[in-house]
Amino acid sequence: MSTLDNMASSHSGGQLPTRTACVGAVAGSAGASVEQSPIDLSDPSSFAEGFPHHWFAALRHERGLYWQAQRDGGGFWVVSRYGDLKEVCCNPELFSSQVAGVSVIDAAAADPSFTRSLMINMDPPQHAKYRAVVAGRFSRRKLGSLEASIRRRAAEIIDLAVSRGGCEFVNDVAAELPMQVICELMGVPQQDRRYLYGLSNRLIGFDVGFTNSPGTARGAAMEMHAYAQQMANERRRRPGDDLMSELLTGSVDGENLTDEQFNAFFLLLVIAGNETVRTAASNGMHLLLQHREQYHALVADPSLLPAAVEEVLRYEPPVMQFGRSATRDTELAGTHINAGDKITVWYPSANRDVDFFEDADRFDTGRANNHHLSFGVGEHVCLGSNLGRMELKIFFEELVARAPVVSLAGSPQRASSTFINAIKQLPVRFF
């Protein structure tokens, strides 16, 4: 039995997959079944107890690439190594974001006519034209003007939680800052922000334990669509100095954005701006609670925080995977890929690749040369990476200044998702 089989069986509660079953599962699209597969990576419950790092370590070591069959008869390739992830993401002509979108595991939850309008699901040259419409707002220089207001908000949120002696960290603290920041940037009025946050959660399944149903997601998408439409109508009448007003004057190929395109931008920014930073902040707090000596070091010397933020992102990346589709027959990691095959790239696995990170399984806030892939790479590299990094750095700076002592006040509750690597609840006390 291979290491991979051993690891898989320990992750799946001792149920031993046979060697033939694993080989069958790896051989390609045909013939593999979910029952034979050691871990079902299309099942959110496979992540209920955390990202299966041990299983991925064996996958990286033994073969790099793995075929995951799905119950509906389809399936997808699992890319586990750092170099292979880069190869896929930096080759959009061969590995398309557009053909089947980037949510290849949970495709049924999305409405294809709408998801096509999201720039994350586009290929060059169309993608670059859409990205250019918003990219300016996310440059470091432009974002610099937000620093003072982000710091003020972070301080208020943390002060409130600390004054109560404790909190449920995910919802009371970590969720609040990114929601306020992205809504501020977009010009969403204060009274509507929690509503949009709720819709964003429903869209990716956060409210229902991350086991999303197509109905829930589509309903939330429709509501968000309607909200964006209303906002577009209002901003056309009375433009402001916000991102959404700017979008309405933006153009692609000399044409202003249509309502559909505007709504797609709106939805993408609300979701991407909320879920990721909340998750990174919660994962960071959880990791630092598990490595208290490193938290104390940050309290003593906050100049260590930029490196600590990068290590949190490397060690427990908020986004687990995105997908692509092969546009023609090709080879990856020595394996034949058929045209049309779906491919998923797994950031938490690439970030633990021992060929790129020394002592990769060690959480080390002092790590240097931390070139993790948590923000992706290539054409679609995260548009909000500067903003996300800035929010996280300020957030933890204000936290260590205001809460030198933090401890767990109950059991953390993880979310089950094939997409977001999140904790749903993290009770903490500040004494």
Q: Exposed, middle or buried: residue 166 (CB in 10 Å: 0-12, 13-18, 19+)?
A: middle
H or E element at residue 219: helix 214-237
CA distance 92 to 107: 20
Site string for ligand HEM, 320-359 (x = CB under 6 A): --x-------------------------------------
CA distance 409 to 429: 6
The residue from 44, 52, 187, 388 that contacts ligand HEM (CB under 6 A) is 388
Write the DSSP string, 387-410: HHHHHHHHHHHHHHHH-S--EE-S
* Region binding ligand HEM by CB under 6 A among candidate stretches 216-224, 273-281, 292-300, 418-426: 273-281
The residue from 37, 42, 276, 351 that contacts ligand HEM (CB under 6 A) is 276
The residue from 110, 277, 320, 423 that contacts ligand HEM (CB under 6 A) is 277
H or E element at residue 425: strand 423-425
The residue from 273, 284, 348, 412 that contacts ligand HEM (CB under 6 A) is 273
CA distance 282 to 292: 15
Shortest reach from residue 242's CB to ligand HEM, in Å: 13
Shortest reach from residue 206's CB to ligand HEM, in Å: 15
> Are the C-beta atoms of residues 101 and 110 closer than 8 Å to each other?
yes
Q: Interface with ligand HEM includes 360 (CB under 6 A)?
A: no
Q: Interface with ligand HEM includes 64 (CB under 6 A)?
A: no
Q: Interface with ligand HEM includes 298 (CB under 6 A)?
A: no
Site string for ligand HEM, 178-207 (x = CB under 6 A): ----x-------------------------
Nearer to ligand HEM, 395 or 430 (CB): 395
Nearer to ligand HEM, 277 or 337 (CB): 277
Closest CA to 250 of 135, 333, 99: 135
Nearer to ligand HEM, 310 or 398 (CB): 310
Shortest reach from residue 59's CB to ligand HEM, in Å: 20
Closest CA to 57 of 423, 360, 422: 360
Helix (H, G, I), strand (E, B) or coil at 344: strand
At residue 95, φ and ψ (nearest 5 deg) are: -120, 100
Number of H helices, E strands in the chain: 18, 14
Q: Interface with ligand HEM includes 59 (CB under 6 A)?
A: no
* Region binding ligand HEM by CB under 6 A among candidate stretches 190-198, 217-225, 265-273, 291-299: 265-273
Nearer to ligand HEM, 28 or 378 (CB): 378
At residue 377, φ and ψ (nearest 5 deg) are: -160, 155
Structure tokens at 89: 């993401």
| Torsion sign across C-alpha atoms 172, 173, 175, 179 | positive
Nearer to ligand HEM, 250 or 388 (CB): 388
Nearer to ligand HEM, 21 or 332 (CB): 332
For binding to ligand HEM (CB under 6 A), which residues are involved? 89, 97, 102, 119-120, 131, 182, 268-269, 272-273, 276-277, 280, 317-319, 322, 374-376, 380, 382-384, 387-388
